[in-house]
Structure 1
């Protein structure tokens, strides 16, 4: 079977995924250990049996709903190549909105202390460390598996010396330390949300937050003032329909300058508020 023939077969297998043609090329390129450009120039080349079998296996797993990032083992976030895998939430492009908002609260060239709560793969902490080299970054997660993944990403990207990794649930690992900025992409999906079926391969504890999706956001809003310096910022990602509820949580916790930011799709995605001076 040639490259082009196997691509056609793989696209058919992936017909119900978001981008069958793109995903077929990504899977076949990975199975052949080539880049996608090579596929265009070698469409008539035969595919070794082992590579063809690997591509078919991956395609079946992807068609069954397994995240593409788990199959490939990598996901790009903020132009950083991150390793990902089962047990760790796959970084989403929408979360780059959270990074952009946090950078606005961390003046370039100034020393600031930042904590990323529930770091997962380390995506947010690593992006902030890359963009703000004078900031001191702490990344926490209750999952040892996630923390190890985040540490591995930091080592590969040469940022391991810039980030302190601590195990603990939300503020549990911080002790009495206060920060200039707290940032988090917490679970925010309601327990009965129908979208969970499509996310069944990712860790439920990183997705589900009680009956209304706000359980962890409530914890973050209520606990943040005790871990922020005067004038410090709390920034959280949330669901597209939760903006008003999260603004109310931050205002109720005493934050000022509370506002929402929209993602690339125009949906409210991030809420931030400032602790009074």
Structure 2
């Protein structure tokens, strides 16, 4: 894209960018090119092919060049566009929050299934980040209310903006603090979390894109289970009788996480749910009705 006087069509620039990203080691070069261009042009990706021969205006080309330059340095696409789809909703994202991933939809879907039969469910989301988990649930459960906890003021600002965008802000209370500390004395029908679960020693080997996400949302301690120990140890105190805690886990972590409840008489494993790739991705523990 060096010749400023050259006419670039949607088709030609997609072809060039896909090749360029491939040379730079980008995992999904063509897809990323399409996502960036569709964002800049305000089109759905399918429309790019309907308008394949459409030339780009100079301002569009300049904006696309800037985006391509960022992506070539392995900045995640979602941080460049400032948005990411999750559960059919468009969430604002920023470098201060973890980018929502399809695997986390398994956590939301499993929780929704268990909350549908509760009249006015109270839900707690710990480590909320962009708010994708709790906001997706509140959007589908109009009688529900929720609380979201995060240690980062910047993350809470992003979550608050997303709550307002999806019109659930009046049913969501945001708290700054560490794990359960800000909600002492409260109880919930469900506690949800996608906590940091990558062992500290594995952080350096992550893809360049992932390493640009907040370290506090990734690093899970020496064995990756530090936050699960805290979440499960104190869950009984914050769950209503019959309530549940649903946790996203990393590869090979489901059994170790579920076993953390072995010493807790009021909390029993209910389900381990696999993601779309067959990986055990969500652990659900249920509090007894007598608790």
TM-score by length of 1: 0.94
Residue 146 (structure 1) aligns with: 155
Q: Give distance in 2, aligned partners of 1:196 and 1:20.
A: 15
Select between 202-211 and 43-52 the one with higher mean Cα deviation: 43-52
Does residue 168 of the first structure (1) align with residue 177 of the second (2)? yes
Residue 122 (structure 1) aligns with: 131
Residue 279 (structure 2) aligns with: 267
Asked if the contact 2:139–2:166 (Cα under 8 Å) also holds between the matched residues in 1, the reply is no
Task: Give SS of 1:146's match.
Answer: helix
- Structure 1 pair 257–45 and aligned structure 2 pair: CA distance change class (3 A): closer
Residue 15 (structure 2) aligns with: 8
Asked if the contact 1:178–1:226 (Cα under 8 Å) also holds between the matched residues in 2, the reply is yes
Does residue 247 of the first structure (1) align with residue 258 of the second (2)? yes
- Structure 1 pair 275–35 and aligned structure 2 pair: CA distance change class (3 A): closer
Select between 65-74 and 29-38 the one with higher mean Cα deviation: 29-38
* Structure 2 stretches lacking a partner, 5+ long: 1-7
Does residue 111 of the first structure (1) align with residue 120 of the second (2)? yes
Q: Give distance in 1, aligned partners of 2:209 and 2:51.
A: 34
Deviation at 1:196, TM superposition (A): 5.7
Cα RMSD (Å) of the superposition? 1.6
Does residue 180 of the first structure (1) align with residue 180 of the second (2)? no
TM-score by length of 2: 0.90
Select between 211-220 and 56-65 the one with higher mean Cα deviation: 56-65
Q: Give distance in 1, aligned partners of 2:222 and 2:193.
A: 20
Deviation at 1:107, TM superposition (A): 3.1
Asked if the contact 1:247–1:259 (Cα under 8 Å) also holds between the matched residues in 2, the reply is no
* Structure 1 stretches lacking a partner, 5+ long: none
Asked if the contact 1:112–1:135 (Cα under 8 Å) also holds between the matched residues in 2, the reply is yes
Deviation at 1:83, TM superposition (A): 0.6
Asked if the contact 2:269–2:283 (Cα under 8 Å) also holds between the matched residues in 1, the reply is no
User: Which of 126, 142, 162 is matched with 1:133 structurally?
Assistant: 142
